[in-house]
């Protein structure tokens, strides 16, 4: 498991929800996207699998929330700190 790099980049007014960008903690290739837009996720749920140096690294959620946007696709090269998903969290 790899620690997520998260960045809160906006807050939605009075709703109390914040949009969080889930950034890649490593450089590699996206081999699996385990969530889709609108899906509810909980702390510990698998979000994405990244292959790096011939190892598959599971990226797990650290929050309860809803997937607002998926910014990557399978077989996409990704660099460290590239945004992969947007989550709406409380």
The structural domains of the chain, with segments of one domain joined by +, span 1-11+25-79
Q: Which residue, 42, 37, 38, 39, is CA-closest to 63?
A: 42
Q: What is the CATH number of domain 1-11+25-79?
A: 2.40.50.100
Span 68-85, mean pLDDT? 97
User: Which pLDDT belongs to residue 85?
Assistant: 97
End-to-end CA distance of the chain: 24
Alpha helices in the chain (DSSP H): none
pLDDT one-digit tens code per residue, 19-63: 999 999 999 999 999 999 999 999 999 999 999 999 999 999 999
Tell me the pLDDT band of 15, cut-offs 50, 70 and 90. low
User: Which pLDDT belongs to residue 14?
Assistant: 54
Q: Which residue, 13, 2, 23, 36, is CA-closest to 80?
A: 23
């Amino acid at each position: 498991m790899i620690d997520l790099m998260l960045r809160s980049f906006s807050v939605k007014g009075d709703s109390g929800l914040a949009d969080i960008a889930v950034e890649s903690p490593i450089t590699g290739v996206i081999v699996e996207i385990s969530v889709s837009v609108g899906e509810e996720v909980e702390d510990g749920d698998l979000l994405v699998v990244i292959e790096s140096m011939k190892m598959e690294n599971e990226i797990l959620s650290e929050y309860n929330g809803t997937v607002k946007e998926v910014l990557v696709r399978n077989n996409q090269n990704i660099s460290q700190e590239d945004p992969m998903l947007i989550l709406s969290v409380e």
